[in-house]
Amino acid sequence: MTSAAGLEAVRELDRVLGVTAALEAEIGSVKQRRRGLGGGALVMAMASCQLTGGDFLVSLDRRRADLAGRLLEPVPTPASTTAAGIARRFTGEHLAGIEAAIGAVNTTMVGLVPAVRRSALLKTATIDGDATDVEVYGRAKEQVEYNHTGQRNLRVHIGFWAEAGVPLAAELMAGAADPRSNSVQMLDRAIAALPPGVERIQARWDAGYFARELAAACVERGVEFAIGAKRTEPVFAAARVVAGHRWVPAIGMDDTEIAVVQYLPGKWPAQDVVCIARRTRIPVDHIPSARARKRRTIDPGQLTLALDGQVDHVFGYSFIVTNLDVSTEEKLAGVEWWYRHRTDIEALNKDAKYGGSLRHLPSKYHKVNAVWMWGALLACAISAWLQELARTDYGNGRGRRTVARLRRELINVPARLTRSAGTTYLRLPPGEQLLSSVLPRLQDLPRPG
């Protein structure tokens, strides 16, 4: 008996896409002697463990206790002490190899999806960048720092392919590090992990990445970008003078309008770059409390008038600097609607933390935590690849199950293993099982090459 029969689907996916083989090839040797578990197999083992719900290194030992389940795993699960020892040998080049391996697997995956889906993936690729904090509790952890909220944490910086749902690049930074400091490098690394043949690359960042260097890098590389702008007095002043007839209704949002404003930060690329303002009408009796983040979106002048009882509503503003085409009202509304969907990467952050185990960084050593981070992100990538190839989503990058739901419905399914004439059979519980439909679809796919 095993409690995680769905690992057989992960093993089939590994066979189809060659995930472990790509990791081993790109990471290279992390030990002097070629025996035992390699670096690529270690990352794959951590990802498999986290897919089953493992949240600390000791969870690897619990996986090893599942003797029947070990027959279904894509790679043998190492002991927790062995895993930590190998992870401590990783260097920056080894971690970069994980990104290169993901790029190779992306290329294989695109070649296996239906022609219509392949055309859509290669027509436009959207890279989302974001950073998320992981709170830790050990002051001895390497590179740990206090963030602006007073939490002791490390910071995970991620580049994400939105259409495919796959993390492309990531770095575990010090707890108070500014993600703008390496945003250009993250952009280049994310582009390198895309499959060849992508016709158009777009990128989205929030206001935490408001930096001239990033915008200039996008222009230099031919990337269409949209970056959130910080709410400063000059940009508020530019929004105040926009004529009422120039505001266009936003797509899918009530009481919300958008317009192009005459604002551009100094020394930013000026050619074809514009600033978009979005404003949402807020009745005076719905003004957020003084501590609410939403209150900071309100024009300070309007807020003063509202608190004095001189107006009955105010506007909450957000601003985007972009080089996308906004020459018509329809294109303007479409760009704002597209930028609003940068929440895809926020969903990835949540999935990596609560589907994978990025909510914990279990070791004192930074290298071990970096490998653990990649285990969580690889678990998210495996989930996306599996659902893409097994056709359990809508076929357009939407409708994917979260990792937590996939674990409940596919991975952590109990089963009895039997053998007959040298063949292993999975005896699943009675009733409809997702594994019964996913596994045959994966088994029908060829090996790489």
One domain, residues 318 and 364: no
Total number of domains in the chain: 2
Q: At residue 395, does pLDDT exceed 90?
A: no
- In a domain, residue 190? The reply is no
- In a domain, residue 70? The reply is yes
| Residue 157, C-beta contacts closer than 8 angstroms, at least 6 positions apart | 129, 130, 131, 170, 171, 172, 173, 179, 182, 186
One domain, residues 272 and 320: yes
One domain, residues 14 and 99: yes
The dihedral over CA atoms of 47, 48, 51, 57, expressed in degrees to the nearest 10, equals -70
- In a domain, residue 275? The reply is yes
* Domain around 11: 7-123+343-411
SS3 135: strand
- In a domain, residue 212? The reply is no
One domain, residues 14 and 116: yes
Structure tokens that stand for 301 in this block: 């002048």
pLDDT mean across residues, the chain: 93
- Selection from 302, 332, 305 nearest residue 320 by Cα: 332
- In a domain, residue 75? The reply is yes
- In a domain, residue 316? The reply is yes
One domain, residues 272 and 310: yes
pLDDT digits (tens, 9 = 90+) for 7-57: 999 999 999 999 999 999 999 999 877 778 899 999 999 999 999 999 999
- In a domain, residue 118? The reply is yes
Contact 67, 122 (CB under 8 A): no
Q: How confident is the model at residue 241 (pLDDT cuts 50, 70, 90)?
A: very high
Q: At residue 449, does pLDDT exceed 70?
A: no
Average pLDDT over residues 180-206: 96
One domain, residues 383 and 323: no
pTM passes above 0.85: yes
Cα separation of 96 and 12, whole Å? 25
One domain, residues 321 and 372: no
One domain, residues 33 and 118: yes
One domain, residues 314 and 405: no
pLDDT digits (tens, 9 = 90+) for 93-150: 999 999 999 999 999 999 999 999 999 999 999 999 999 999 998 888 999 999 888 8
H/E element holding 157?
strand 152-161
User: 307, 334, 361: which is the final residue of a domain?
Assistant: 334
One domain, residues 385 and 294: no
Average pLDDT over residues 275-291: 91
Average pLDDT over residues 328-337: 96
- What confidence score (pLDDT) does residue 329 get? 94
SS3 387: helix
Contact 191, 201 (CB under 8 A): yes
One domain, residues 282 and 244: yes
One domain, residues 297 and 405: no
- In a domain, residue 174? The reply is no
User: How does DSSP assign 28-54, residue by residue?
Assistant: ---SSS--S--HHHHHHHHHHHHHTT-
Cα separation of 440 and 361, whole Å? 36
